[in-house]
Structure 1
Amino acid sequence: MIQVQIDEAEAKELYLQKLNERMKELEAETAYWDAKELKRQTCMSWNTIQDQFFYHPNFPKYKVGQKWYFPAKETKEFLLWWIRGKG
């Protein structure tokens, strides 16, 4: 008979490590966000976004047709800079 023992703490740590690696890969794949994704990422309504930082001259945004797009990496950097200034 074969008996297998698993260290649950080690298995959980390995699982979380692999999950974190995959999340970073997925983030790297996203080149830009649309307004819906910006709202999701910031947990803010569109009105709040417009009131708080949308019109800031350093906020990266591009309008293509009728839709706004935001470069993911630059937008994240701006949002971190912006929120640090609010503290």
Structure 2
Amino acid sequence: MIEVNVDQDTVEKLTKDEIQKRLSEADFDLVLWDKHELTRRTCMSWSTIQKTFFYHPDCPKVKLGGKWYFKAEEMKDFLLKWVEEQKED
């Protein structure tokens, strides 16, 4: 039988580093992201985003004309903070 042990702190650090790397590499000077850009940049489905952080009180979002938009710089900062908060749970 095979047993696998995972160091949670290492996984969280690697996840945070990878999010930061992808955000840095994919920065195209966009001021706003729509939900499709947010899903692309987080590698999460829209339903996962809604279940995890969309309704967080600090999530920077605005609905314009029936469509959700996210301020790019504020969302980057929020996501990095949110990942850190997940370590506390």
Instruction: Give me the TM-score of the superposition, normalised by structure 1.
Output: 0.67
Distance 1:44 1:85 in 2: 18
CA distance in 2, matches of 1:64, 1:33: 12
The size of the alignment, in residue pairs, is 63
TM alignment of 1:46-65, pairs within 5 A = 46-65=46-65
Q: Specify every segment of 5 or more residues in structure 1 that has no aligned partner in the other structure, as ranges.
A: 1-23
Counterpart CA distance in 2 for 1:45 and 1:62 is 19
What do residues 5-45 of structure 1 show as CA deviations (whole Å, max 9, x unaligned)?
A: xxxxxxxxxxxxxxxxxxx6x72621010000000000000
Based on CA coordinates, which of the two structures has the bigger radius of gyration? Answer: 1
**Residue 69 (structure 1) aligns with:** 69
Identity %, equivalent residues: 52
Distance 2:44 2:28 in 1: 23
* RMSD between aligned residues: 1.5
Deviation at 1:47, TM superposition (A): 0.6
Q: How far is 1:67 from its partner?
A: 0.5
Map 1:6-85 → 2, pairs under 5 A: 27=27, 29-85=29-85
SS in 1 for 2:44: coil
Q: Which runs of 4+ in 1 moved over 4 A?
A: none
Give, in whole Å, the separation in 2 of the partners of 1:71 and 1:65. 16
Whose relative contact order is higher, 1 or 2, with alpha carbons under 8 Å and at least 6 apart?
A: 2
